[in-house]
Amino acid sequence: MADGNGDAPGTDDTRLTTDALANAVTEELADWEGRELAAFTTRRPESKERYLSGSGLPVKRVYTPADLPEDWSDIGLPGRYPYTRGPYPTMYRGRTWTMRQIAGFGQAEETNERFRYLIAQGQTGLSVDFDMPTLMGLDSDDAMSLGEVGREGVAIDVLPDMEALFDGIDLENISVSMTINPSAWILLAMYVAVAERRGYDLNKLSGTIQNDILKEYVAQKEWIFPVRPSMRIVRDTIVHCSREMARYNPVNISGYHISEAGANAQQEIAFTMAITKAYVEDVVAAGVDVDSFAPRLSFFFVSQADLFEEVAKFRAVRRYYARMMRERFGAEDPQSMRLRFHAQTAAATLTKPQPMNNVIRTALQALSAVLGGAQSLHTNGLDEAYTIPSEQAMKTALRTQQILADETGVPHVIDPLGGSYYVENLTGELERGIDDYLEKIEALGGVVAAIEQGFFQREISDTAYEFARRKAAGDRPVIGVNKYVDETDSEKIETHQLDPASEARQIARLRRIRQDRDPRRAAAALDRLLAVAKDGDANLMPATIEAVKAHLSMGEITGALREVFGSYTETPVF
């Protein structure tokens, strides 16, 4: 579909408020403040001096048509530029969001069993959580992996682990999202190897690797190599997928971790857009046409506690992205301009005291994700503040989404808060806030320079500290923690227990596979990989696919490449 005229510059015909209406409203507001409001607050003052949104923006008592954006073209229609209302014309009327509960623990076989359980419960997409060694590109038998193997995700060392992970699951018909970053390209190589072995058409595979390395240095802190070579790997995966895997999302640019590390909603979307700009600039600089890869960029945001600000946040970032892609990068394909995102409710808001309250928190956060037009959603388990979720906790979390989809009527109308004086105003504020941050980052020399100067890290740690202080002062109520504390609380919940023998089994299997492989094929594959790594213009993907097929382990691959690329160490700021 053509882009249409949704972006026509404002004319008098498309203005949302006339000067006459704005003046009349402002006058009436002043009058009301002098009469009804003044009389009322004399008798009963408001509960606070000032009210702030979750990210600290002052919010007014009431909003009016005078607070609306100037022109209808800022709002527009769903599936049309600037995509404020959603990336698709039918949104949840066409297909409800993908219910994608992340899972992963122990060995591949154990996670495979959980996947099959979730599919049987009506889940419509898979999402894999990996253990820390896999996330950091280390093998299960590395000394640094002590205690972490299969702990908070599934352990993957070699291709046979990946084969076991997806055993019996039809990868042409279910999309798989993999939360993996510095080692993402190796997991992608394994995924391709599994698919090829099963004779799948690679262009039919739909799925995502997170692969958002810049936010690792900013927030999540999982890394292997320094920033520049890591950026090259991201570029290689984007370029490879644009050629070989038409439906695969090679990067999922993530604000979620930026938020969980302490950032507020404004910082989350601003930093995410700054990072997006850096990736797009990099790939464009490699001579790739923006419209050949931008349609496959996907995003991941948190759905935090401040309901309306979250909805406004999703709308603001969609609009900002559309404008950036078209105006700054000259994208012409509408698909390059529409931001699609996965949302996850905010784990850091969940509490250990009175854990059943977490079900309610998660339901409300899920509501804001749906009101904000998320394409897929993970709802957290109520036991998140204890350990990784039990089967029961995951089931309740999934049911929360199903109730939202089938019982509330919320999905029937697209962007139902569109036109709300408040939400539209906040959307505009947050969109402008992105621009302010991008200017600041530009002045520091861009994202990489800003990372090296600790800019993001300091911003995030300042906000986290401020939040902790406000929480301690009771200014940020957390029910069950600093308000309505129940000393007699004895809610007990059943938590997930890790099989203590899992780590030893995984290490034994890894060693057996190293023993049994063809050593000449493995050595040749490693040599080729190193040669490709040294050539900055070459693409790492084909050599990595051969390396995993030769049963080289993840730690062997990253270990060898550290010799070429070096390692990363952070200078912490607090």
Which is nearest to 184 in space by CA: 231, 228, 148, 144? 231
Which residues, in sequence order, are bridge partners of residue 343?
301, 377
- Residue from 75, 103, 136, 305 touching other proteins (CB under 8 A): that is 136
The least distance separating other proteins from the CB of residue 261, rounded to whole angstroms, comes to: 5
Name the segment binding other proteins (CB under 8 A); options: 148-156, 244-252, 313-321, 425-433: 148-156
510 binds other proteins per the rule CB under 8 A = no
Exposure on the CB side of residue 487, measured as CA atoms within 13 A? 0
138 binds other proteins per the rule CB under 8 A = yes
Q: Which of residues 201-220 bind other proteins (CB under 8 A)?
A: 220
388 binds other proteins per the rule CB under 8 A = yes
Are 315 and 359 contacting, i.e. CB atoms less than 8 angstroms apart?
A: no
Other beta carbons within 10 Å of 291: 17
Are 167 and 126 contacting, i.e. CB atoms less than 8 angstroms apart?
A: no
504 binds other proteins per the rule CB under 8 A = no
Q: Kindly tell me which of 93 and 469 has the beta carbon lying closer to other proteins.
A: 469
119 binds other proteins per the rule CB under 8 A = no
Residues 6+ apart with CB under 8 A from 18: none
Q: Kindly tell me which of 352 and 399 has the beta carbon lying closer to other proteins.
A: 352
Structure tokens belonging to residue 24:
């009349």
- Residue from 8, 62, 472, 523 touching other proteins (CB under 8 A): that is 472
Are 193 and 546 contacting, i.e. CB atoms less than 8 angstroms apart?
A: no
Name the segment binding other proteins (CB under 8 A); options: 205-213, 295-303, 400-408, 470-478: 470-478
Q: Kindly tell me which of 48 and 520 has the beta carbon lying closer to other proteins.
A: 48
- Residue from 2, 39, 120, 146 touching other proteins (CB under 8 A): that is 146
47 binds other proteins per the rule CB under 8 A = no
The least distance separating other proteins from the CB of residue 84, rounded to whole angstroms, comes to: 31
Q: Kindly tell me which of 246 and 498 has the beta carbon lying closer to other proteins.
A: 498
- Percent of residues in the chain assigned helix, strand, coil, to nearest 5: 55, 10, 40
The least distance separating other proteins from the CB of residue 557, rounded to whole angstroms, comes to: 17
Structure tokens belonging to residue 165:
């992970």
H or E segment to which residue 429 belongs: helix 421-444
Structure tokens belonging to residue 155:
């352990």
**Cα 561 from Cα 45, distance rounded (Å):** 65
Name the segment binding other proteins (CB under 8 A); options: 129-137, 286-294, 405-413, 421-429: 129-137
Q: Kindly tell me which of 272 and 420 has the beta carbon lying closer to other proteins.
A: 272
Q: Kindly tell me which of 283 and 382 has the beta carbon lying closer to other proteins.
A: 382
Which is nearest to 352 in space by CA: 148, 492, 465, 151? 492
**Cα 301 from Cα 295, distance rounded (Å):** 18
| Cα of 321 vs its chain's centroid, Å | 15
- Residue from 7, 113, 152, 167 touching other proteins (CB under 8 A): that is 152
Binding map of other proteins across residues 552-571, x = CB under 8 A, - = no contact: -----------------xxx
- Residue from 9, 147, 287, 536 touching other proteins (CB under 8 A): that is 147
151 binds other proteins per the rule CB under 8 A = yes
Q: Provide the Cα torsion 513, 514, 520, 525; round to 10°.
A: 90
Distances (CA, A) of 567 to 182, 230, 267, 451, 563: 12, 10, 28, 16, 9
Q: Provide the Cα torsion 166, 169, 171, 175; round to 10°.
A: -90
The least distance separating other proteins from the CB of residue 382, rounded to whole angstroms, comes to: 14
The least distance separating other proteins from the CB of residue 455, rounded to whole angstroms, comes to: 15
- Residue from 408, 465, 483, 501 touching other proteins (CB under 8 A): that is 465
Query: How many residues make up the chain in this entry?
Result: 574
The least distance separating other proteins from the CB of residue 495, rounded to whole angstroms, comes to: 6
- Residue from 12, 199, 473, 536 touching other proteins (CB under 8 A): that is 473
The least distance separating other proteins from the CB of residue 386, rounded to whole angstroms, comes to: 5
Residues 6+ apart with CB under 8 A from 311: 368, 371, 372, 417, 423
490 binds other proteins per the rule CB under 8 A = no
541 binds other proteins per the rule CB under 8 A = no
Structure tokens belonging to residue 478:
């957390």
Name the segment binding other proteins (CB under 8 A); options: 145-153, 237-245, 325-333, 509-517: 145-153
The least distance separating other proteins from the CB of residue 461, rounded to whole angstroms, comes to: 5
- Residue from 8, 38, 144, 410 touching other proteins (CB under 8 A): that is 144
133 binds other proteins per the rule CB under 8 A = yes
| Crossing angle (nearest 10°) for helices 554-565 and 519-534 | 30
59 binds other proteins per the rule CB under 8 A = no
> Is 299 in a helix, a strand, or coil?
strand
> Is 484 in a helix, a strand, or coil?
coil
Which is nearest to 233 in space by CA: 247, 216, 246? 216
The least distance separating other proteins from the CB of residue 574, rounded to whole angstroms, comes to: 4
Size of the site for other proteins (CB under 8 A): 47
For 62: left if phi > 0, alpha if psi spans -120 to 50, otherwise beta; the answer is beta
Whether omega for the bond prior to residue 229 falls within 30 degrees of 0, making it cis, is no
**Cα 96 from Cα 376, distance rounded (Å):** 9
Are 425 and 315 contacting, i.e. CB atoms less than 8 angstroms apart?
A: no
Binding map of other proteins across residues 267-306, x = CB under 8 A, - = no contact: ----------------------------------------
- Residue from 59, 461, 542, 559 touching other proteins (CB under 8 A): that is 461
Q: Kindly tell me which of 540 and 561 has the beta carbon lying closer to other proteins.
A: 561
Applying CB under 8 A, which residues contact other proteins? Answer: 132-133, 135-136, 138, 143-148, 151-152, 220-222, 260-262, 348, 351-353, 385-388, 460-461, 464-465, 468-469, 471-474, 478, 481-482, 495, 498, 569-572, 574
